[in-house]
Structures are given as C-alpha cells and as structure tokens.
A and B are shown apart, each in its own frame.
Chain A
Amino acid sequence: QQQVKQSPQSLIVQKGGISIINCAYENTAFDYFPWYQQFPGKGPALLIAIRPDVSEKKEGRFTISFNKSAKQFSLHIMDSQPGDSATYFCAASTNSGNTPLVFGKGTRLSVIA
C-alpha cells in the first residue's frame, strides 16, 4: 500500500512558468512533509519542508501548500528555470520528522526554454 501518492509522474513546463506537483497521504499521524530534489546520479537534496500547523511555506521560488483536511500538499516552483529540471519527491514522516521518511514515487520535471 502506497502511503504517499504523488502526481504527475512527469511534467514539462516552459521557462518562466509555474511547476506544480501534488501529493496525497492517508496516515493522519504524519506531521512532517519535506520535498526533495534529485539530479541523476546524486542523492536527494532537501528543498523545503512544512508541518501541519501552517497552510503555506515559501522559500525563494519554492512554495509548499498544505491542506490538512484533504490530506494533500503540493510544491509550486515559480519562474521555473532549465536548472530546475530534476526529479522531485514528496515525503512524509511522524514524530515531527524524527522517524524514517515515506517517499512518493517522484515527478520528473523538464523545464524547456
């Protein structure tokens, strides 16, 4: 049973556009929701994370929106750039993030000029 469902599987966005990736979860014990960026041959790099006591968190061009009642959260990348082309993973964990992460299957983002 997949605990974190991520969509879309792949995404193509024009340079300067907005990239939106969505995730949904079932386990209401999850209380920490990070997003990771991964380039080919590299380990995942932490981008931004949110906890359920806030509905939105912004860091630079990256924004997480969180909907606790719907058990959904999403990543928005504003002004998308070719350098943003990578695979993005949402994840979730319990105990304020002090437990193993459960990852989505990933979204492969391509930003074209």
Chain B
Amino acid sequence: DTGVSQNPRHKITKRGQNVTFRCDPISEHNRLYWYRQTLGQGPEFLTYFQNEAQLEKSRLLSDRFSAERPKGSFSTLEIQRTEQGDSAMYLCASSSGWGGFEQYFGPGTRLTVT
C-alpha cells in the first residue's frame, strides 16, 4: 500500500495557460476526492468520484475546472485559462467507500499562477 500519490508536486504557470494534475489513489479505493487549500485555510471540497462516476461538484468549481476518473483508477483535474486566484495547493484524497470511510490525503500539488 503506497498511499495516495499526486503529480506534479509543484507547478508554476502563466496566467491564461491550462494545467492538468494527476492523482493516483490507494489501490482498490473506489472513492476519490479533490480539495483545494489556500494559505492559512483548511481544505475546501471541489469534487468527488465513486469509481468513474462524478458524484458531486462544489460551487467553487467554475466552468474552467474539469475532473475525470477514467476506468475508476487515477483521476485528473484540469484548469483552463488559469487565473492568479487559482494559486493554491490541490489535494487529492481516497477512501475505500465500503465501510471504510477514512479519507487519506496525498501530498498535494502546489500551483502558482504568475
């Protein structure tokens, strides 16, 4: 069990560019969550999946954000036309979903939009 992994760990991009992050959950965990954390704040929910189905999207998730989880394994989060306000730590968490509700977080991807 290698834990949740996220790539890249850091991303610096210019305003207006598109970025994509990847999350690999713990093996056989069927729930996968995306959160965003800004400096000095707690993580805020963005979206989550049960296998490949996207169950809920937060109103924080503007039309520029899209997430998918093909085949119910890894997930990607894409931000189009990045803005400076998108600068944050993007965290992924997974849980087994069947009686095991604990959410385990990855190390996060730190996005800086210049």
CB within 8 Å of B: which A81-113 residues: 89, 91, 96-98, 100-106
Task: Kindly state whether residue A43 has any CB partner on chain B within 8 Å.
Answer: yes
How many Å from the CB of A37 to the closest CB on chain B?
Answer: 11
Task: Kindly state whether residue A42 has any CB partner on chain B within 8 Å.
Answer: yes
In the assembled complex, the Cα of A61 lies from the Cα of B45 at a distance in Å of 29
CB <8 Å contact, A101 and B102: no
* Known A43-B91, A43-B108, A98-B95: A106·B40 in contact at CB below 8 Å: yes
- Residue of B whose beta carbon sits closest to that of A102: B45
Contact with B along A49-72 (1 / 0, CB 8 A): 100000000000000000000000
**Additional pairs, 20, CB under 8 Å, beyond known A34-B102, A42-B107, A43-B4:** A41-B107, A41-B110, A43-B105, A43-B106, A44-B43, A46-B104, A89-B43, A97-B101, A97-B102, A98-B31, A98-B101, A100-B58, A101-B33, A101-B45, A102-B45, A103-B43, A104-B42, A105-B40, A105-B41, A105-B42
Q: How many residues of B contact A (CB 8 A)?
A: 26
Q: How many residues of A contact B (CB 8 A)?
A: 23
Number of A-B contacts (CB under 8 A): 59
Can you list 21 residue pairs at the A/B interface with Cβ under 8 Å? A34-B102, A43-B107, A44-B91, A45-B105, A46-B102, A46-B103, A96-B101, A97-B101, A98-B95, A100-B33, A100-B35, A101-B33, A101-B35, A101-B45, A102-B45, A103-B44, A105-B40, A105-B41, A105-B42, A106-B41, A106-B42
CB <8 Å contact, B91 and A100: no
Interface residues of A (CB under 8 A from B): 6, 32, 34, 36, 41-46, 49, 89, 91, 96-98, 100-106
